[in-house]
Amino acid sequence: MMNVAHTPLEGVKSLKVKLVIIIGAAVGVTIFVFWSGIKLGLWPGIAGVISGLVALGVVFWLARGLTRPLRDMAVAVQMISGGDFTVNVSGESRRDEIGALARSFSRMASDLGENDRIRRDLVANVSHELRTPITALQVHLENLIDGVVETDPETLATMLEQTTRLGRLVAQLLDLSRLEAGVVPLDVESFEVKTMVDRAVRQAQMQRSDVSIVAEIDPVDLRVVADPERLHQVVANLLENALRYSPNRDVVEVNVTKYHDLVMFEVLDNGPGIAPEEAEQVFERFYRADAARTSKDGGAGLGLSIARWIVDLHGGTIHAEPRNPSGCRVTFAIPSA
């Protein structure tokens, strides 16, 4: 950050007051020097020139640094237009309107830089996630066309798996873009939580038959006012994530309870878990923990991000934490009404 020298008017909080002081000082100095020169016997013309020069000096002294942040902003705008967002302007410590403008400008530059980073990461991650299944499909199709391999159920099943992965990624990207744009209205209604959770459990159980899912709702007839389809999507995403990293013959738990005016959902697994420092990062787009990176099907890193957006739309909170001795615990809470 650029440093700005302290000026005589540094402590004045209003730019208007500063201008009034500068103008008043200039007028006062002009009159004082002019009449002083007349009393000393100077010609009026000479006294006027001297008083004007002295007044200009006083104005320059009082206004020292007043417009420097504006000049810095002009330079910073040119740098930002060239793609350099690592800029800052002087005058952020000032207490007047220019200081407020300088602080707002620095925040804007920082936000633009962060948005640019997210955009570049998004393009890179999407390209990477799309390249893997597309390359696999291309190889299988080329082998089929060249006669290297014959059409058999196993090859077709592999191709279908890659196509399904592509479709899932595209659907998640569309969901995320709609959620971030705020164009997904919530179809809110009162429904029984157990019915929604049981449906999510049945669908998730089809992914892995070697892992059991145990759901417990207390009270059993618990109801909530929310969007049942979107809430089902959250639970399904959390279960899919838990099943993906659970060891064989393990148990994934789903607990739902009511606490005052909140409905608390909890999904627990005994997988590799997450590091405490990754607890918040796992909800970022395309972020994958170390365990996910070493997995053959770590997903695209969008499920938890979509879950967070849906929970936020319901006015709730969601977070993840390690589970002792191993595993992960993801909880989210939404208002019951």
- Is 52 within the bounds of a domain? yes
Q: ∠268-321-200 over CA atoms, to 5°? A: 35
pLDDT tens track for 47-101: 888 888 888 888 887 776 677 777 778 888 888 888 788 777 776 667 777 778 8
Q: Give the per-residue pLDDT at 109.
A: 85
Answer whether residue 37 shows pLDDT above 60. yes
- Is 8 within the bounds of a domain? no
- Of 111, 144, 171, the residue at which a domain comes to its end is 111
Domain count, the chain: 3
b/e map of 177-206 (b: 16 or more CB within 10 Å)? eebeeeebeeeeeebebbebbeebbeebee
Query: Do 249 and 281 belong together in one domain?
Result: yes
| Confidence category of residue 296, pLDDT binned at 50, 70, 90 | very low
How far is it, in rounded angstroms, from Cα 175 to Cα 183? Answer: 10
Higher pLDDT, 317 or 88: 317
Read off the pTM. 0.59
Q: Give the per-residue pLDDT at 300.
A: 52
Q: Give the per-residue pLDDT at 293.
A: 40
Average pLDDT rounded to a whole number, residues 286-294: 53
Q: Give the per-residue pLDDT at 287.
A: 65
- Is 6 within the bounds of a domain? no
Q: Give the per-residue pLDDT at 3.
A: 45
How far is it, in rounded angstroms, from Cα 81 to Cα 69? Answer: 18
How far is it, in rounded angstroms, from Cα 241 to Cα 204? Answer: 10
Q: What's the CA dihedral at 130, 133, 136, 141 to 10 degrees?
A: -90
Query: Do 159 and 270 belong together in one domain?
Result: no
Query: Do 137 and 37 belong together in one domain?
Result: no
- Is 151 within the bounds of a domain? yes
* CATH code of 129's domain: 1.10.287.130
DSSP 292: H
Q: Give the per-residue pLDDT at 216.
A: 95
Q: Give the per-residue pLDDT at 262.
A: 94
Q: Give the per-residue pLDDT at 65.
A: 65
Average pLDDT rounded to a whole number, residues 139-154: 82
pLDDT tens track for 223-259: 999 999 889 989 998 998 899 888 888 999 999 999 8
Query: Do 49 and 134 belong together in one domain?
Result: no
| Confidence category of residue 116, pLDDT binned at 50, 70, 90 | confident
Q: Give the per-residue pLDDT at 286.
A: 64
Query: Do 170 and 201 belong together in one domain?
Result: no
Query: Do 40 and 58 belong together in one domain?
Result: yes
- Is 116 within the bounds of a domain? no
Query: Do 219 and 295 belong together in one domain?
Result: yes
DSSP 246: P
Answer whether residue 292 shows pLDDT above 70. no
Name the percent of the chain lying above pLDDT 90: 22
pLDDT tens track for 173-228: 777 777 766 667 788 999 999 999 999 999 888 878 899 999 999 999 999 999 99
Average pLDDT rounded to a whole number, residues 29-40: 84
Whole domain around residue 194: which residue ranges? 190-335
Query: Do 170 and 107 belong together in one domain?
Result: no
Query: Do 218 and 324 belong together in one domain?
Result: yes
Answer whether residue 316 shows pLDDT above 90. yes
How far is it, in rounded angstroms, from Cα 226 to Cα 189? Answer: 6
| Confidence category of residue 137, pLDDT binned at 50, 70, 90 | confident
Q: Give the per-residue pLDDT at 194.
A: 95
* 19-28, 71-80, 217-226, 291-300: which is most confident: 217-226
- Of 78, 111, 144, the residue at which a domain comes to its end is 111
Q: Give the per-residue pLDDT at 1.
A: 42
* CATH code of 320's domain: 3.30.565.10
- Is 118 within the bounds of a domain? no
- Is 120 within the bounds of a domain? no
Query: Do 250 and 330 belong together in one domain?
Result: yes
Answer whether residue 128 shows pLDDT above 70. no
Query: Do 288 and 199 belong together in one domain?
Result: yes
Query: Do 152 and 135 belong together in one domain?
Result: yes
Per the CB < 8 A criterion, the answer to whether 317 and 307 are in contact is no
- Of 62, 86, 111, the residue at which a domain comes to its end is 111
The percent of the chain in helix, strand and coil, each rounded to the nearest 5, is 55, 15, 30
- Is 69 within the bounds of a domain? yes
